Structure 1
Amino acid sequence: MIEIERISRAFGGLQAVRSVSFTVAEGSVTGLIGPNGAGKSTLFSIIAGALPPDSGVIRLRGEDITGLPTHQLFHKGLVRTFQIPHEFSRMTVRENLMVVPARQRGENLLQSWLRWPTVVREDREILRKADEVLEFLEIDHLRDELAGNLSGGQKKLLDLGRTMMTDAKAVLLDEPGAGVNRTLLGKLADAIERLNRERGYTFCVIEHDMDLIARLCDPVMVMANGELIAHGDMATLRENPQVREAYLGTGGSGDQGAATS
């Protein structure tokens, strides 16, 4: 699905990503872990089109998408969520979903005048889809709540719902568990598993919660100091000396609990 081939990116004298290569197989939930400063978020930004690489190639289903901007990747079915959700706080939960689909006829003044019945039918279909997404995520009781009033975990579910409004097949999840309580984290994990299993979504997940990674992801890629240092299933990686050193050695103390949980 996604091929990352020898991607590198530097910021001045800092080599944030150094010749990283791996594949996110279609239908997989692939994890990307590593201590803070490993280069994970920079790599995500490159894949998602927010940053150009200095070198290397990225392919989506065999098509070279290297350097394409985010809005073009959106139309190709590659979307990204963020560690800090970016909701429209003064719009309702349902409205946050309804604004997502691209090229809505109602956004065009001329179309609204000349093809009003078509605009109405399209709006009804988008509304139906939004309600289906809310029901799938079990947050339909919040449909009329202002998005700014949601808890952190509810906002993460809303972010996931917005990817569902695009019919995306490849989703980059940036720390979906950050700031989420255990109950909502379980609901979020359930939704990711169902989207993967029932609807064929492919995920690549950055996460520091190793229990969540162990539940969701196989394979798991490990980065440290801008490089890919190991990959495999989580049980094997927990015993890998190089991975343990990356988390527990110099500069990795902040992730001790996550790495050993």
Structure 2
Amino acid sequence: MQILDTGDVRLHYRVDGPDDGAPVVFANSLGTDMRLWDPILPLLPKGLRLIRYDKRGHGLSTCPSGNYSMGSLITDVEKLIDHLGVTNCVFVGLSIGGMIAQGLAVKRLDLVRAMVLSNTAAKIGNAAMWDDRIAAVRAGGIESLADGVMERWFSAEFREKPELELWRNMLVRQPDDGYAGCSAAISGSDFYATTATLRLPTLGIAGAEDGSTPPDLVRETTDLIPGSRFHLIRRAGHLPCVEQPEEYAQVLSEFLKSVGHV
């Protein structure tokens, strides 16, 4: 575990694998920390340089008050990647992490040679929806939203398992200010026009029972990029890397091999 002081925020990050390995950067979803990727990492090809981090307001990174902009979230990971001396990574982003991926690819194509847009979209929800969610968090904390979030995150089958408690606890232990701040960043973001300009290998992944970013929405965004591919994971909601880690890792590994990253 390491900390990077960007001058604006202190980011908690972790690097696994050899320093000379092909870099893969992971950006996780709203309300989770870097442990989101724990189920799949042991299943990926050996020799990769696996880079994870907690975005601002999440995990062990610092939590500025007030609303965040998507530009700030993109700049945070841009500074981290530059700090690590990485170029030509494959960027794997889930939910808000996928929005960060789109924005970073448009801004710094020298850093991203391919990307995975998992359970995400060019635009997620609308301003009124996010305003309501932010108001609820400010009034009653993340706990007040937790049960509804679990229904969007996971399939009905998974919600019957005791493991659900792990992910509910992860959600409610994130700072309220961080959740609200990142919600504001999502609310103000629309990448349809800019993502459509991208020309790089792209894989879209969706969960068949995703209540946050339904499969059609993920496919619509992925289809903005010519030559992209799309994979639907059944019996999974918004976090298929948790519910179906073997399939998720297999699809990701195949994509890494197809773009010459393994």
- With the length of structure 1 as denominator, give the TM-score of the two structures: 0.30
User: If you compute each CA radius of gyration, which structure gives the higher value, 1 or 2?
Assistant: 1
- The structure whose RCO (Cα within 8 Å, separation 6+) is larger is 1
- With the length of structure 2 as denominator, give the TM-score of the two structures: 0.30
User: Greater share of strand residues, 1 or 2?
Assistant: 1
